[in-house]
Amino acid sequence: MLKSFPFAIVLSFLVFACNKAEDKNQKTEPASNDSIAIAAALKDTANMAKFQFEEKEFNFGDIHEGDIVKHVFKFTNIGKSDLLISDAKGSCGCTIPSFPKEPIAPGANGEIEVQFNSKNKSGQNLKHVSIMANTYPEVTSLNIRVNVLKVDETKGPIAD
């Protein structure tokens, strides 16, 4: 009986280890379900609306302090469903976007106008516009660059 005791310990250890292995397999099963859900979500993105901009950044160059400038960013919906823009926000109050409120059909074009007010914004400026839409990713960014010359810098030399 004493000789079978070590055998019983080894046998119980193996049974315990097999049960743990089964537990591990059961724990990885939901991960594979998660993988299926992620794959399904990625597959669904193929049917979503999609921006294709002619340009995502525009440089106004030099302007004078106090000038208000505008630029129109043109895009096409290259996706497979209507593009719906829910919101657009500038990185500060000096940058104001306007966007179409109606759906943009697949293959159709649209425009986002960005207005920049240079009052009290002298020097180099880089401003961003975030566009929230039913696209993947949900937020698309546009940029404008501008060099605002101070009022004093816009005057030429005074002749004596």
Q: How much is the pLDDT for 92?
A: 94
How far apart CA 123 and CA 127 sit, in angstroms, is: 13
- Regarding whether 111 and 80 lie in a shared domain, the answer is yes
- Regarding whether 85 and 55 lie in a shared domain, the answer is yes
- Regarding whether 139 and 61 lie in a shared domain, the answer is yes
- Regarding whether 84 and 39 lie in a shared domain, the answer is no
Per DSSP, the residues of 69-86 read: EEEEEEEEE-SSS-B-EE
- Regarding whether 110 and 71 lie in a shared domain, the answer is yes
pLDDT (tens digit, 0 to 9) for every residue of the chain, 160 residues total? 555 555 555 555 555 555 554 555 555 455 566 666 556 555 678 899 999 999 999 999 999 999 999 999 999 999 999 999 999 999 999 999 999 999 999 999 999 999 999 999 999 999 999 999 999 999 999 999 999 999 875 465 554 4
What are the structure tokens assigned to 30, written together?
């939901």
Would the pTM of this model clear 0.75, i.e. be above it?
no
Residue found under tokens 């724990």: 27
- Regarding whether 105 and 83 lie in a shared domain, the answer is yes
- Regarding whether 80 and 41 lie in a shared domain, the answer is no
| CATH code assigned at 67 | 2.60.40.10
Q: What's the structural domain count of the chain? A: 2
Cβ atoms of 97 and 41 within 8 Å: the answer is no
Q: How much is the pLDDT for 19?
A: 53
- Does residue 146 sit within a domain? yes
How far apart CA 151 and CA 154 sit, in angstroms, is: 5
